[in-house]
Structure 1
Amino acid sequence: MKPGALRIRVRTLLAVASLTVMAVSFPSAAAEQTPLPLRQSDGPTAMARARVAADVLMNSYEPDKAWFPSSWWNSAVALQTVGDYMERTGDRRYLGQLNNTFEKDKGVFPAGVLSGDPLLGNFTSRAIDDSEWWGLTWLQAYDLTRDPKYLNMAVTIADYVNGYWDTGTCGGGVWWDGERTYKNAIVNGLWIRLTAELHNRIPGDTLWLGRSRTAWAWFQGSGMINANGLVNDGLTNACTNNGQNVWSYNQGLAIGAGLELWRATRDPQILNSVRRLADAAIGPDALVTEGVLSETCDAADQTCDDNAKQFKGIFMRYWTDLVDTTHERRYAAFLDQQATNLWQNDRDAAGRFGTRWSGATNDDHPNVFDWRTQASALSALIGDVPTPTPLASLAATLSPAQPVVMPAASGVTSLPLALGASATGYFPLLAIASVDAPAGWNASPRASVLRLQPRGNALPVSTTQPLKVTVPAAATDGHHLVTVNLLAAGLRFTTQADVLVAHTIDFDTGTVNENPWLFDAGGSQSNGVQNRFADGNAHFTYRFPFPADTTSAHVTLTIDAEFLVQASTDNEHWTTVLQESQPVTDGSNKADRNVDLTPYLGAAADGSKPVYLKVSDAFPNDGWGGRVYHVTANIVE
């Protein structure tokens, strides 16, 4: 198509869409906003961003074990975050997953199945704070469904936790663990919030209110809140502030606990205390670095562990409650700032968010992306969605979002993409999609119309438009963006594919450089640079789209533990190419191992010769599956 013809076609599509909008009298984006909105963000866009992030998070949910892989308390927080998303947006697609987890995981489990601790049934264990997280999750599920089984479970959990309230040490407070070794901020902030939520949902209650009041008074006088209004981690054996780190989730739970108790009592002193905690959190030398909410482990020379990855999201959950409760613009401005910063600086093309909300990264301590960091960021995006819920929203994604192209020496290489569009609302939409590809590349179709017929917010509707992008042989190595702009009735959304053009394969696992090659994470884990492992029934699969003129290829894996490595031309039929024959749990067999991939060079529709390489666990019963550190390949064309 000639450039002039393309412009004419786009103008025609725009005219058709405009006429359609006029015919249905679709409300404008401005009309959806209340006068002088508390949040300055674009409501429909904020809702669309939250939907994209929530869908990415739920891609990591494991329906068989009914959790997010390999983390018990983090799974509770992630599921509550999904509940927060559904409550805020009206989207109800994930109610089934909440129920699935409730029914499958409420029993007794030995250590190592769902938690490092034995689970005692009803989501309780020796980790008292873990039990409380699940109590709050089921109260969120009750709010969404009004099913009494969720409320009853929360009461059961709270009864269990109450057994660890002890006035014999430090005058009160809940013990952090079953062994009664530590009284700290998180378990007591959770306790106040949990008991206050129970009171606010049980008609005529006085029991839980009394416990919440007592716990709040004890917490305020415990010494854990320092002179600057910041919450240190816990108490010493002498019942004094231990001076340990001020984590954002401790500060957030203190805010959230006070807010829920204030709703129960309307005591102005409680709200004053909450404001002091909030002002301290965003004050000098506290939790904010250059405007971005940060943990101490977000520093460039540190790495947050799996627990700390979710702390900031917990803070933002209760900060959102603060904004909704006080309606103070300075608090709302901080919330907007976090959500905007996340979307602009800490998001990759696949809609994933990292642990450092500034987006900062380096080779030694990269910005880590996983489902925990996704759930954390989602809380900030949820908070940015205004209430009442926007009347309509429009979102878009490209799949694959991070594809790899290995061009042949001559000709072009085809890259198939799928544009997905989703919408909520009450009127039909004609969405115009326009594609922008790098110079010298071609995209077909460059412009198209997608028809969407939403029926409210509970079940967003979606449609898909296939795209084909051709990449010239002369394309330079590196990252190239393909951008799609979607426009409908005053609603806009932009999505991108981050195309890696590469003539070589050389990457460390556990880094952003691995992501384009990682075809299927398969429940695997990565907890640092040069580290991806697959225990039990987990696996991970790399896809190497070797150029069409490839005649032979070899890959070298730096690998250890109880690995099973298989190759395939189609991701369906597998041949074992490496296998550890003995149980190895100490990494003593770490070595570079070479695999000849020449017999597995496929023939894909895009002209490439892809090979799939899957790593799994040769002894799935003992939890020491294959662990890969580095991947390189030699290619002969």
Structure 2
Amino acid sequence: MPSTLSTALLALLASPPLVAATCQKYIDAAVTAAANLQSAYFTGGSQQPWIGAVDSFHLSELDTLAGVATYSDVINTVFTAWEGQLDNGDSYDDVQWVSIAYLRAGNLAQAQKYYDIASTAVTTNYCGGGLFWNGNDDYKNAITNELYITTSGYLYDATKDAQYLTNLQTMFDDGLTNDGLCNNNQGTQWTYNQGTLLPGLAYLYKCAVNGGLRESCETTTANMCDADQQTFKGITVHYMSWFLSVSGRDNDSKYSGFIMAQADNVLEIAVGPTGWYSNLWYGLNGGAATWTASSQASALGALVAAGQQNC
């Protein structure tokens, strides 16, 4: 299930994930690196399609940074050797990398085509939700499901088609973001597993959940959090304030804004009888709001943390 830390990143990553740089020395270095990549790319055979998709994404971003269109045609050639594999759903993570690359390159039709192929792998009869990894329908892994969160968010942001937003919310609620899924396989936690999820969390924050923290054990209609788990959110917010105090970070930072946004949600969404607050910080009560000592203490942590900021 999504960790508290991952959920916190929802609100910290509200800005679009693709941010233009302003440091020219890095752009110049990237231009040289891209030219060298092009000269070596097919040495020893073509790259796997997902690597080509990631590389195409990098190159599209570089064109934007450099104000050129040097690599605008790369997307039209990089997958030519892999179309059969992609079209037949041999790898449902690969087709999503390709969907993202096409959308970044401005080809919505192709982006939707490969997203739709990935969507055929969604099922609830194994692990309760999520996507299978490939057409064998016998394994679900983190990256395929993390990608579906991010790709759904990216497509919703581009099209405002409500189905993409629904898919984003459903996949996030399924919580299948660790390899092994039904049972954590305790395998290596690769860096890209952590990074791939972040844009999806940002889109979820931007479009779906009012920026409020949510534990994986709670929804607006069902609460399975115990007393310990109902305490976690207040710790996250108050300890972030502690971090700002110790580190000397500017109180006008985005982290300070995150802290105050959580307190605002407590006051506006979690509010009950005067001075009492529930566990729901992100959505209106659908029958699962719980007013306990733990939910009250968690809200207190958020309110104290916000009181420590500059208003």
Q: Which residue in 1 is equivalent to 2:70?
A: 93
The alignment's C-alpha RMSD in Å is 3.3
Q: 1:141 to 1:206 in 2, by over 3 A?
A: same
Report the 3-state secondary structure (helix = DSSP H, G, I; strand = E; otherwise coil) of the residue aligned with 2:94: helix
How does the TM-score come out when normalised to structure 2? 0.58
Q: TM-score scaled by structure 1?
A: 0.29
- Higher helix fraction (1 or 2): 2
**Alpha carbons of structure 1 residues 209 and 60: separation in structure 2 relative to 1, 3 Å:** same
CA distance in structure 2 between the partners assigned to 1:94 and 1:272 by the alignment: 42
1:60 and 1:68 in contact (8 A); partners too: no
Matched, 1:233 2:197: no
Tell me if structure 2 keeps the 8 A contact 1:128–1:175. Answer: yes
* 3-state SS in 1 of match to 2:207: helix
On the 8 A contact 2:85/2:91 being kept in 1, the answer is no
Structure 1 residue 125: Cα displacement:
3.0
Assess if the C-alpha contact under 8 Å between 1:195 and 1:208 holds in 2.
Answer: yes
More relative contact order in 1 or in 2 (CA 8 Å, sep 6+)? Answer: 2
Q: What is the number of residues matched between the two proteins? A: 203
Equivalent pair of 1:262/1:271 in contact (CA under 8 Å): no
- Matched position secondary structure for 1:268: coil
Which residue does the alignment assign to 1:53? 33
Q: Does residue 139 in structure 1 map to residue 103 in structure 2?
A: yes
* 1:207 matched to 2:163: yes
Match 1:268 to one of 198, 205, 211: 211
Q: Using the aligned pairs only, state the percent identity.
A: 27
SS of the residue 1:54 aligns to: helix
Shift of the 260–86 alpha-carbon distance from structure 1 to 2, 3 Å rule, reads farther
Q: Among 67, 79, 85, which residue is 1:119 paired with?
A: 85
Q: 1:187 to 1:257 in 2, by over 3 A?
A: same
**Which of 179, 183, 192 is equivalent to 2:140?**
183
- Look up the match of 2:241: none
**What SS is found at the alignment partner of 1:254?**
helix
Q: CA deviation at 1:186?
A: 0.2
Q: Is the 8 A contact 2:92 2:144 kept in 1?
A: yes
- Is 1:251 aligned to 2:194, yes or no? yes
* 1:262–1:270 CA contact under 8 A, matched in 2: no
Provide the rounded CA distance (Å) in 2 between the counterparts of 1:138 and 1:255: 19
The one-character-per-residue Cα deviations of 1:259-316 (angstroms, maximum 9, x if unpaired) are 122232363136999xx9xx9xxxxxxxxxxxxxxxxxxxxxxxxxxxxxxxxxxxxx
**Structure 1 stretches lacking a partner, 5+ long:** 1-38, 106-112, 143-149, 225-231, 280-325, 330-637
CA distance in structure 2 between the partners assigned to 1:88 and 1:68 by the alignment: 29
Distance 2:45 2:101 in 1: 14
Runs of 5+ in structure 2 lacking a partner?
Answer: 1-18, 217-232, 237-252, 257-311
Is 1:168 aligned with 2:145? no
**Deviation at 1:132?**
0.8
For residues 47 and 267 of structure 1, the distance between their equivalents in structure 2, rounded to whole angstroms, comes to 35
Q: Could you list the structure 1 runs, at least 4 aligned residues long, displaced by more than 4 angstroms after superposition.
A: 270-273, 326-329
1:180 & 1:71 partners in 2: Cα distance?
A: 21
Give the greater-gyration-radius structure (CA). Answer: 1
CA distance in 2, matches of 1:327, 1:54: 33
CA distance in 2, matches of 1:86, 1:155: 23
Change (3 A) 1:89 1:126: same
Distance 1:42 1:208, change over 3 A: closer
